[in-house]
Structure 1
Amino acid sequence: MKGSLESFSLEELLQAINQSKKFGRIDIQGAHGQYGIYINKDSIYHAFSPHYERGINALFEAFIEAKGTFEFKEMLNSKYITISKPFFDLITEGLKIKEELSDLNSKIFDDTEFELSHETNLESISISGSDLKFLSKLGKGMPVALILKEENIDYITFLKKLKTFIELNLVKIKKAG
């Protein structure tokens, strides 16, 4: 089975495979890179992504890819078991993350840079030391890939923090010139 994420969403694909009781791997080529999702009849048991090596956050990263292609390859197994939540809980949580982060994800790439907003009074905001460190890296114009590596965080966590800072008007995405 092959297709595009624009015409057949990941949740639709996962449900179709689940209903057919097949097992194998879904390969996705998205805007951020290559993803793999392993399914064994009625469970999703492993995933990998370009930003987060393995596990549930890798699966959730795949949910926020709106554009790209997929191919389901039957009979492929992984020796890793990194996901143990029930199938429909994963779909529900993945859809929630998709709704929350897909718009922001479509604007962010590994080389995207940020700048601090000059309109915000930092004295009126309470911020933790780790968040201040993260904010500082964003303000220095560090690209996403480097921030993920230096902060040792996954991409979903990065997007959630970034979204909060954008909503607080602390950070702006630099526009490509």
Structure 2
Amino acid sequence: MKRLLFFCILIVIIMSSSGCLSGGDDVKINLSGTEEQALTLDDIKDLPYVEGYGGRKNSVGQITLPVPYKGVPLTEIYELDHEITEDSAIRIIAEDGYIATFSYNQFVLGDFVTYDEEGNEITAGELTIILAYEEDGKDVIDGPLRVVIIGPNGPITDGHWWVRYVSEIEAVNIEQ
């Protein structure tokens, strides 16, 4: 009996760590003004993806150095049911209720403050904000989905934009 219990627990641990249990997890995609859509992690992985490096700086100045990420640009998610205009914005909601809203300049043009490895502000090239499902070749640690900002030379951006455990995405319009 103990042996059977041990093997059952072992199988659950192996399936959890390999991502077998996460493929069908629902991420609620709520596009304002239209019918709500629910996409699974597998649906999201089937969308056009990009890869790049990104790092973050937390509120006390601690730097997490850039690592490779893979995911879907937020513009792809928005365009599932909306045309992008200069009034477009995208709101990301985490499982714990944390909310971040990205303006057109951020999610389309990649306009973010960036830092070097010492935390000094620098100018970076084109940045892309993505819904990441892969981090350093593995499933995202704080996920299954996390908002990540990537770009050339591994930009470091403010960590409050890096929403963990994404559960809902809303397409919104902001009058400028």
Same fold (TM over 0.5): no
TM-score normalized by structure 2?
Answer: 0.29
Larger fraction in strand: 2
Greater relative CO, 1 or 2 (CA 8 Å, sep 6+) = 2
**Greater fraction of residues in helix:** 1
